[in-house]
Amino acid sequence: MHTDFKFHPQVTQVGCYWGDGGHTELYLIEGDDLALIDTGCTNCPGEYVAPALAALGRELTDIKVILNTHGHFDHAGGNAALYDVAGAEVWLSERDAPVAADLELQFEKYFAQNDTLVGRADRLPASKETLYKQARPSKIDRKLADGEVLDLGRGVELRVLPTPGHTQGSVSFYWEREGLLFSGDALPGRGSRPGGFPLIYTPAAFEQTLDLIGSLDLRALCMSHHYRTLTLSTESVKYGAAIKGHVDECRQIFRAVARGLRAALRERPGAPFLEVGRAATAAVAQNMPVAIDQDTGLPQWGPTAILYALWQLERKAEGAWR
């Protein structure tokens, strides 16, 4: 079953399911040619994009350009499958291009830590196998520069905005005339799974991203997942006051996790990551819902991303101060 939502005369959201309960929103953009923002995992173009296009009287071969918000498997993992059918060009931020093109690099940089940091290196082969089932390496035809405008025709002009935090090379596509922002995973709330932590791998730049998005005049915020926050509903397209509310609650969540991590570090100077991460998770869970893994003491979803990145930042700052 596919789900699609045409919320603008030239934009259709396509919901895609993959793996064990994963879900990614893609966006079809109708300019002179058809463009697709993100492709999901390997199964998504055939299982979900094709039926959505059929409802529009189109087919996969009509897609000429793939625009990736970043290089992760659930956003760029379907690039190769779509290229096989349509021959579409792939446009992606220069900073994230390497992880889309090299799954080994992507695994080592982002996902291996979920096993190694909790003492479960024995799970690495299975984790890597799962990644390779969900994605294929992507070719890159054009590396996007911050601030450039992509003219897709029929009035569709998308500005490439750097929105790091989730990854260093994450970008959002801003259609200023229509007030639409396609933000990928730039605003992850508490994550999309119940009781999780946000997947923020480069936290030093995250609040700058929040400031930038908060400064835009938006009619609709078009996200890639049904993110959970503190008080808001989980719709992936937000309008009006809900846009500011989502940005604000992302900031509150980020700061709550950062406070918990810093407090845990102060109380345990020199302690290893896992000890600090467990204490930080317990502290955050006093103020917002967290599903804690009984084996690791970390969140079941997003267990290491933001905690380990913040731990590294704090340890680095501590060393520089000394």
Question: What pLDDT, in 10s, does the model give residues 97-131?
Answer: 999 999 999 999 999 999 999 999 999 999 999 99
Strand partners, 162: 171
Domains of the chain: 3-186 (3.60.15.10)
Per DSSP, helices labelled H in 146-240 are 206-214
Reported confidence tier of residue 317, pLDDT bands at 50, 70, 90: confident
Q: How far apart are CA 207 and CA 59, in angstroms?
A: 40
Q: For 13-34, what is each residue's pLDDT tens digit?
A: 999 999 999 999 999 999 999 9
What does the block give as tokens for 39? 């492709």
Q: How far apart are CA 308 and CA 128, in angstroms?
A: 20
Average pLDDT over residues 81-96: 98
The answer to pTM > 0.95 is: yes
- Give the pLDDT confidence score for residue 26 in this predicted structure: 98
Three-class SS of residue 87? coil
Q: How far apart are CA 54 and CA 50, in angstroms?
A: 6
Q: Is the pLDDT of residue 133 over 50?
A: yes
Proportion of the chain above pLDDT 70, given as a percent: 98
Q: At 284, which amino acid appears? A: V
The sheet carrying 34-37 orders its strands as: 3-8, 11-18, 22-30, 34-37, 63-68, 89-93, 142-144
- Give the pLDDT confidence score for residue 320 in this predicted structure: 42
Q: How far apart are CA 181 and CA 218, in angstroms?
A: 7
* Residue pair 170/93 in contact by the 8 Å Cβ criterion: yes
What does the block give as tokens for 201? 């791998």
- Give the pLDDT confidence score for residue 3 in this predicted structure: 78
Q: Is the pLDDT of residue 245 over 60?
A: yes
CB burial class (10 A; 0-12, 13-18, 19+) of residue 142? middle
**Nearest to residue 37, comparing CAs of 72, 61, 67?**
67
| Backbone φ/ψ region at 131: left (φ over 0), alpha (ψ -120 to 50), beta | alpha
Reported confidence tier of residue 322, pLDDT bands at 50, 70, 90: very low
CB burial class (10 A; 0-12, 13-18, 19+) of residue 13? buried
